[in-house]
Amino acid sequence: MCQTTRAIFGSNAVIRRVFPPCPRAITGKTVRFIIFDPKKQIDSRSDLKAAINQVGSFYNNLKNTSGLSNAIKADLASYNFVVEYRPSAPDDSTLLNLGRMDFPVYLFNTPGISATSTSISEIQQLMQRHQISAMSFLRAFNTIHPELPILAPVVDNYKTIESSWENRDVLGFGFPGGYYNNGSCGKLGIIKIDALLTITSTFDTDSERLTWVLQHELGHMFALVHHDDSLMNDKYDRHFAAFLPLQIGHVRDTLKRVSP
């Protein structure tokens, strides 16, 4: 299960932590998925390292999906997705140098499962360091005009962590950047690696599960909303391991906002 809290604006909505637009320069067409592993949870697991590399291949192959327009295929072909695994936490200098085309994802342990868990307050501090605003927008499906996605507000990202961080059924989080107000630097993925690895299943392996969860949370970081019958279903259902063409179009749209 993946949880992303969505709400319509109302009198009880509290909007916190609004950051200024991103000042960093556009850095070309290379999209970097940077996997930070502060506790070195997968550093000795060659199968899990191979799993995260498959994520780059998955996104590079989106352009080959049937049902895409030639324009979307051409746009996606101009981008190169690479994965970097770093068995450490970034220092302040590294964070300051993350660019618009960098998508940072952290592997953390969670309370109640591991003695080396990360607390809710630590996660929220990390979100602030990455300039994650309380309010962000996801691209929902527009059934009348599919080419025009509905922007679904997410309120409040910090409360999502408070309500779900200790829930073992929630394996990850993906927070998109402010792609609609030039705030594209503030994006962040978090994977509860110990919760993911404690699942016992006869249907999939640890490496397969890690690949799917990473692909899904990166989908949120590209501003995709949950949607059944696709990789963005909220249960990480292994039967739906691909994006729909319309979702891929939305990924393309986000990329063009981040690096035209």
- Domains of the chain in sequence order: 30-258 (3.40.390)
d(CA 86, CA 84): 6
pLDDT-above-90 percentage for the chain: 60
In order, the DSSP letters of 27-78 are --SEEEEEEE-TT-SSTT-HHHHHHHHHHHHHHHTGGG-TT--HHHHHHHHT
pLDDT at 155: 77
Task: Report the distance separating Cα 5 and Cα 66, nearest Å.
Answer: 31
pLDDT (tens digit, 9 = 90+) per residue, 77-136?
999 999 999 999 999 999 988 888 999 999 999 988 888 899 999 999 999 999 898 888
Average pLDDT over residues 10-17: 47
Report the pLDDT value the prediction gives residue 2, as an integer from 0 to 100.
Answer: 58
210: buried, middle or exposed (CB in 10 Å: 19+, 13-18, 0-12)? buried
Give the per-residue pLDDT at 200.
82
Q: What is the pLDDT of residues 47-63, one digit of tens each?
A: 999 999 999 999 999 99
Q: For residue 38, which phi and psi values (nearest 5 degrees)?
A: -60, -35
Query: Rounded to the nearest 10 degrees, how much is the dihedral formed by the CA atoms of 6, 59, 168, 39?
Result: -120
State the chain's maximal CA–CA distance in angstroms: 51
Q: What is the mean pLDDT of the chain?
A: 87
Task: Give me the mean pLDDT over the 213-218 stretch.
Answer: 97
Higher pLDDT, 99 or 34: 34
pLDDT at 1: 43
The model's pTM is: 0.90
Contact at 8 Å (CB) between 236 and 169? no
Q: What is residue 72's predicted lDDT score, i.e. its pLDDT?
A: 96
Closest residue by Cα to residue 5 from 138, 195, 167? 138
Confidence bin at 209 (pLDDT 50/70/90): very high
Beta-bridged to residue 191, according to DSSP, are 107, 172
Does position 254 have pLDDT exceeding 60, yes or no?
yes
**Does residue 13 surpass a pLDDT of 50?**
no
Highest mean pLDDT among 16-25, 143-152, 251-260: 251-260
Listed residue (238, 104, 126) closest to 174, CA to CA: 104
- Cα separation, 46 vs 27, in Å, equals 30
pLDDT for 14 beyond 70: no
- Distance in angstroms (rounded) separating the CA atoms of residues 229 and 252: 20
Contact 249, 68 (CB under 8 A): yes
> In this predicted structure, what is the pLDDT of residue 10?
39
| Mean pLDDT computed over 13-20 | 58
**Scanning the structure block, which residue is given the tokens 């490496």?**
207
